[in-house]
Amino acid sequence: MVKKNYRTSNMIIQNILEGILRENKKNPVIQKGIKKSHLIVYCKLKTITAEKYLIKMTNAGYIRLFEETWGERIIKIYDITKLGRERYEWFVKINAEVG
């Protein structure tokens, strides 16, 4: 039971990190980070679940949140930190190196 929870949580976390990295790659010069709504769609998550993980990841220093104004609206944007990048690279390395 505990193991399964770890697995599901980690899948979500890695998907969030990958989503930000991919978005940054699309336009590395202009763009920095991904809109919260786009990230939720990319990870195929319910808003409430996504928010729970985004808060935890921000508090752990994996991602950072900043706000941008777009007309009258305020858009929430998430970007990956050095720690978050390291953690995702670590995950891919474990998978890619062995077997």
Partner 1 sequence: MSSIDKIDKWGLNYIRKTRFYLKISAILPIYTIIIGIINLGFLIYLYTISTESHKVIPIHGIIVFICFISILLISLLQFLFLRKWNLKIKVYNKMIKIEKNDNSNVLDENINKNIKMDEMSLTDIFYEVINHMEKIRKLFIILNIFSAIYIFYNSLMFVRLFIFIKKAFILIFQTIRYLNLSVAIVLIIYLIYMWHHYIKWNKKLKKLKNYEIMISQELNL
- Binding string to partner 1 for residues 19 to 58, with x set by CB under 8 A, is what? x-xx-xxx-x-------------x-------------xx-
Burial environment of residue 2 by CB neighbours within 10 A (0 to 12, 13 to 18, 19 or more)? exposed
Backbone φ and ψ for 68, nearest 5 degrees, come out as -130, 145
Strand order in the sheet with 34-35: 34-35, 73-80, 63-70
3 binds partner 1, rule: CB under 8 A: yes
Nearer to partner 1, 67 or 86 (CB): 86
94 binds partner 1, rule: CB under 8 A: yes
96 binds partner 1, rule: CB under 8 A: yes
Shortest distance, position 54 Cβ to partner 1, whole Å: 11
